Amino acid sequence: MNAWVVRGLGMALIHILVRVMLGAAITQWPLQGSVLRWVALLVVVLVALIWAGIDGIRDRHRNPDPDQGADLTMLWLKAALLGGIVAGIGSWLADLLPSLNVTQNSFFFEITSGAAFTVLLIFVPAMLAVFLGRFFAGRDAKKAQQGRDDGRATTRGAGSATGAAAGGTAAAAIADDNGYGQHYPDGTYEQTGQAGYADPDADTAVFEPVHHYRQDTSDIDSGEGQNTTWQEPVDLGKRNPEEPKRGE
């Protein structure tokens, strides 16, 4: 069954029940007729407001973009037309029962002027409720989305700050390794004005020699009692295996 048929028949049933109860109440309290009519009118309007407001909220949740929303205007217009006609016919039929005092109007009046009034009671509150439902649902959705965006921005900002700090430390270490800074023996550190050059006024660092070289190595190169005269170099790859090794 179509949605507008369900809403139209539902509103028509509510309207008929309210009119039946109104007739019974007026019969019981005839002096309170005006107050009772206003209460019955508010009940019908309140039901239309609640039902259409739920439709508006659901539609905004399903379609955050207003251009992609469902056509609730035509839905509730058709529902109101159906509800007005069915409510008029139902109220006239209910008045035929001897124990009920629903209406004193003719059948033609109920399906024309009476139905038109019922259509207004359904359609106008429904459109107001649809607008308010979409408005409040859209505002809540925007607040939730803004909160999520702020949380993501805060997370990205913290990550960027951490990355920048780590990058700055790494850059400082690279700059120091590439000669942008000079370390001195006394533990002081000075930043040079030009990359790769130390301060010309700084003290020259003195380093201990790594090896002590001996100038006379004859006692190492030749054994005691051996001939130290010049000999032709021997190709070890072509040496005779029976020839004694040097130094044996």
As a three-state string, the secondary structure of 150-206 is: HHHHHHHHHHHHHHHHHHHHHHHHHHHHCCCEEECCCCCEEECCCCCCCCCCCCCCC
Residue 214 maps to a domain: no
Residue 245 maps to a domain: no
- Is residue 175 scored above 70 in pLDDT? no
Residue 243 DSSP symbol: S
**Residues near 80 by beta carbon (within 8 Å), at least 6 away in sequence:** 8, 11, 118, 119, 120, 122, 123, 126
Band of pLDDT at residue 190, cut at 50, 70 and 90: very low
Band of pLDDT at residue 221, cut at 50, 70 and 90: low
Residue 48 maps to a domain: yes
CA distance 126 to 46: 9
Strand segments (E) across the chain: 181-183, 189-191
Residue 93 maps to a domain: yes
Residue 132 maps to a domain: yes
pTM for the model stands at 0.57
- Is residue 82 scored above 80 in pLDDT? yes
CB 18 within 8 A of CB 102: no
Number of domains in the chain: 1
Residue 208 maps to a domain: no
Using CA atoms, how far residue 43 sits from 18, 82, 155, in Å, is 8, 19, 51
Residue 201 maps to a domain: no
39-53, 63-77, 107-121, 131-145: segment of lowest average pLDDT: 131-145
CB 89 within 8 A of CB 110: yes
**Residues near 130 by beta carbon (within 8 Å), at least 6 away in sequence:** 52, 53, 55, 56, 59, 72, 73, 76
Domain that holds residue 72: 3-138
Residue 176 maps to a domain: no
